[in-house]
Amino acid sequence: MKIRTKVVVLLSVVFVTLALVEWGVGRMLLLPRFEQIETDNARTAMKRIDYGVYQALGELQVSANDWGNWADTYRFMRDRNGDYARENLSLTAMRQLHLTVLAFVDVQGRFIWSQSVDPVSGKPLALDLFASPAMAADFPWQENLRHERSGQGLIATDHGVLLAAESPVLDGFAHGPSRGMVVMGRLVTDAEVAALGSRAQTQVALVGVRGPDGRMPPGLVGRAAPGADDAVAITEATTQVLRAFTDVYGRPLMALRVDVPRTITVRAHSTVNYSLAFTVGAAVVVLLMMLVGLERAVLGPLAKVTRHAVAIGAGDDLTTRLDLKRSDEIGALAAEFDRMVEQVAESRRQLVDHSFEAGMAEFSRGVLHNIGNAMTPLGVRLAELQHRLRAAPVADVKRALAEHATSSPHAARTWRSSCCSRAANWQRLSAMPPVMRRSWRGRRERCRTR
């Protein structure tokens, strides 16, 4: 695998890993945080609904306290005068107070006056709460009646859940003894629930009411238990928080559900997706730019150096040079490579010269050996002649020369006698080498024939 391919694969793996890490961070870290924020917002909305419910009860409590601590009400509880009833206990007064139920209870717990109104039509409404002449003996507000205490809470009726508040009837100066209690209430209708949601700036729905058998709907059993944490359900479009509200007995009576649109999660998903797409696009652009930059700065020059090295190794031409005008490591590598090629070329020239000189020396040694072989016989002959000259009869030669100089007529005789005398002295030549002896025998024979 070429280094260019390795670099491309390595950079691609790095950027793909970066994209996967960002995707994992977005999906496993950021989105759960946004969902948690959304769930917290839904819980906060449910807290606002809870506050709205108890605020509505507080408003009823204020009205009940106002009517209970009123001197006219105090006298009415004593003498039941009709003027009070005609002037104050009317449907108009109840509509002004946004009441569905208004009742007066004496100290024995008997209803001395009560009125219920349909919140939709405004017509009188018969509630099972006032079906009997007195409150139930186990009704929790019986204790408040005996101790002159105020109270508020939710009451189950045959027409739905009643938000109710009671206050003891005092003399107008918050003094007793109490002559009973004033009960005011408002049925929880769809309009009342919508008003709660409007005040809390959220979407709320009444999803369950305890039935006549005293049980919550099957789908809410366990999810709407008193004292339990809010039940949270997350759908594709909303985050739902369910909370149970108890009645004056402390038993679950109704469940309200807050539906918070998952706009935060939707936007978070869009943001994460856009961020991932932007990161991938930026990674591709950066990868291409890096590849272009590496091609120009590193990979291209390195490939050029590689091709030059391969060409130098495959051929015999050591004259080409890279000549890269660079000041980085690749430039230094190219310069050193050129210098190395120059040294190799110089070494080759020196090797050729040395080979030529060695060949000439070998040739000279052969010529000299042949000359020596040719000169050896000459040396032997010269040595033989030198030896013969040393052993020659010098005295006879001198006498012969003297006679020749005098031009004696008996030169032939003299030459013969000289030769004969030298032949007579052959014993002196017995010590000579065989070659010289053969030479002297030939001369002696010539002398005899003369």
pLDDT digits (tens, 9 = 90+) for 384-441: 888 877 777 777 777 777 877 775 545 444 444 444 455 455 455 555 556 556 665 6
Q: What is the pLDDT of residues 202-240, one digit of tens each?
A: 899 988 787 666 666 665 544 444 445 688 888 888 899
pLDDT value at residue 431: 55
pLDDT tops 80 at residue 444: no
- Residue 227 or 194, more confident: 194
Among candidate residues 21, 26, 61, 60, the one with its CA nearest the CA of residue 274: 26
The Cα-based distances of 46 to 202, 205, 337 in angstroms read: 9, 11, 79
Percent of the chain with pLDDT over 70: 86
The Cα-based distances of 282 to 10, 22, 30, 294 in angstroms read: 17, 13, 21, 18
pLDDT band at 371, cuts 50/70/90? confident
Average pLDDT, the chain: 83
Looking at the DSSP bridge assignments, the partners of residue 183 are 103, 166
pLDDT value at residue 221: 46
**The pTM of the whole model exceeds 0.85:** no
Copy the structure tokens of residue 178: 């109490």
Distance from chain centroid for Cα 154 = 56
> Which residue is associated with the tokens 């004593």?
78
What is the distance between the alpha carbons of residues 432 and 434, in angstroms, rounded to a whole number? 7
- Residue 74 or 420, more confident: 74
Range scoring the smallest mean pLDDT among 108-122, 212-226, 298-312, 374-388:
212-226
Among candidate residues 243, 330, 191, 195, the one with its CA nearest the CA of residue 42: 243
